[in-house]
Copies of this chain bind each other. A is one copy, B any other.
Amino acid sequence: MDRLPFTYKEFLSKQTITLEEICRGLVKTNRDRINIKKEERAVQNLHRIVQAVLSLSQTKGFSAMSLRDLSQETDLSMGALYNYFNSKEELFQMIYTQGRTSVFDTLEANAVASDPELRLQQSICAHLYLSEALPRVFSFFFMEARNLPAQLQKNIISLEQLTEGFFEEILQEGKKKKQFALEDTQLTASAIKALLQDWYLKRYKFSTRRLNVEKYASFVIDFVGANLK
Contact = CB atoms under 8 A, between A and B. Distances in A.
Interface in A165-214: 184, 186-188, 190-191, 193-195, 197-198, 202, 205, 209, 211
A161 B208 CA distance: 13
Contacts of A161: 205
A182 to B, nearest CB: 10
A59 interface: yes
Nearest to A206: B190
One complex includes copies of this chain to the number of: 2
A61 B161 CA distance: 22
Contact of A59 (B60, B146, B194, B216): B146
A159 to B, nearest CB: 13
Contacts of A188: 223
A188 to B, nearest CB: 8
A156 interface: no
Contacts of A219: 184, 187, 191
A63 interface: yes
A84 B64 CA distance: 24
A62 to B, nearest CB: 9
Contact of A198 (B63, B143, B194, B202): B194
A188 B188 CA distance: 17
A102 to B, nearest CB: 23
A226 interface: yes
A72 interface: no
Given A61-B63, A61-B147, A186-B209, 20 more contacts: A58-B146, A59-B146, A61-B64, A61-B146, A161-B205, A184-B219, A187-B216, A187-B219, A188-B223, A190-B202, A190-B205, A191-B195, A191-B223, A193-B198, A194-B194, A194-B197, A194-B198, A222-B227, A223-B227, A226-B226
